[in-house]
Homo-oligomer: A and B are copies of this chain.
Amino acid sequence: ELLYDVARHFTAKVMEGQHVLVSAGPTFEAIDPVRGLTNLSSGKMGFAIARAAHEAGARVTLVAGPVGLPTPRGVARIDVRSALEMKAALEAQAPTASVFVSAAAVADWRPATSQQEKIKKDGTGQVPTLSFVENPDILAGIAASPRARRRELFCVGFAAESHDLQTHAQAKRARKGVPLLVGNIGPETFGKDDNALLLVDEQGVQELPRAGKLPLARQLVAEISRRLPVVVAA
């Protein structure tokens, strides 16, 4: 903790006065009381971003899916399970936030129906079929808000793709309507302690080469701060 305080003391306070909202981890979409659909996101990148933003002087709120990671020091954490819970928590925070980093791997779909009782294997060899409904696009929704359109809320998206990262990241940036989209090589980064990032904005593409997730998070926070609107004192 002392080391952390020292580190924070010597970090440039590029996020001073900002309220940074970060989402992290997977969501868990219930099929029945015990089973559900999830993904391999460990939450490490989002937690590192929350920590780096706090080091840089921001007030930080972290909305986390089900992960076992410790809460970064000084960060306010809200735990959620499903995409709909995550949406509600983020939308409650967004009106007071100035930056939103959507690092969570929100499930695209949830089961169309969730059973109240555990589905039993009845020994007949019959297997269930599952149909899905699409989850709302949390980031696109927040990015379409008036505050985000006026850049009072700077929105950053993430893309995890198993192929053609750059093409997908550019397309996703346009689809989500965000000024900055961060690509990472999904299946290879999930759960790992390091990562490599591709920053896609209207200027073009910039690479942050492979490094630990915390150093990368610090670089990303610095890159975000460079892109924030300059507030002119009245």
User: Judging by beta carbons under 8 Å apart, are A118 and B161 in contact?
Assistant: yes
Which one of A34-42, A96-104, A150-158, A196-204 is at the B interface?
A34-42
In the complex, what's the smallest C-beta–C-beta distance from A215 to chain B, in angstroms?
22
In the complex, what's the smallest C-beta–C-beta distance from A58 to chain B, in angstroms?
27
A1 an interface residue at 8 Å Cβ cutoff?
no
Residue of B nearest to A112 (CB): B127
User: Judging by beta carbons under 8 Å apart, are B162 and A105 in contact?
Assistant: no
Q: Residue-by-residue, is A146-168 near B (CB-CB < 8 Å gives 1, otherwise 0)? A: 00000000000000111100000
* Stoichiometry (number of copies): 2
Q: Which of B39, B118, B134 contacts A186 (CB 8 A)?
A: B118
Residues of B near A31 (CB, < 8 A) are 37
A234 an interface residue at 8 Å Cβ cutoff?
no
User: Judging by beta carbons under 8 Å apart, are A162 and B130 in contact?
Assistant: no
In the complex, what's the smallest C-beta–C-beta distance from A144 to chain B, in angstroms?
15
Residues of B near A33 (CB, < 8 A) are 162, 186-187
A108 an interface residue at 8 Å Cβ cutoff?
yes
Residue of B nearest to A68 (CB): B68
User: Judging by beta carbons under 8 Å apart, are A162 and B129 in contact?
Assistant: no
Residue of B nearest to A115 (CB): B162
CA separation between A34 and B109, bound complex, in Å? 13
In the complex, what's the smallest C-beta–C-beta distance from A168 to chain B, in angstroms?
8
Residues of B near A32 (CB, < 8 A) are 162
A133 an interface residue at 8 Å Cβ cutoff?
yes
User: Judging by beta carbons under 8 Å apart, are B163 and A117 in contact?
Assistant: yes
A positions within 8 Å CB-CB of B:
28, 31-41, 67-68, 105, 107-109, 117-119, 121, 123, 125, 127-134, 160-163, 175, 186-187, 190
Closest 5 CB pairs of A and B: A33-B187, A68-B68, A127-B132, A108-B121, A130-B130
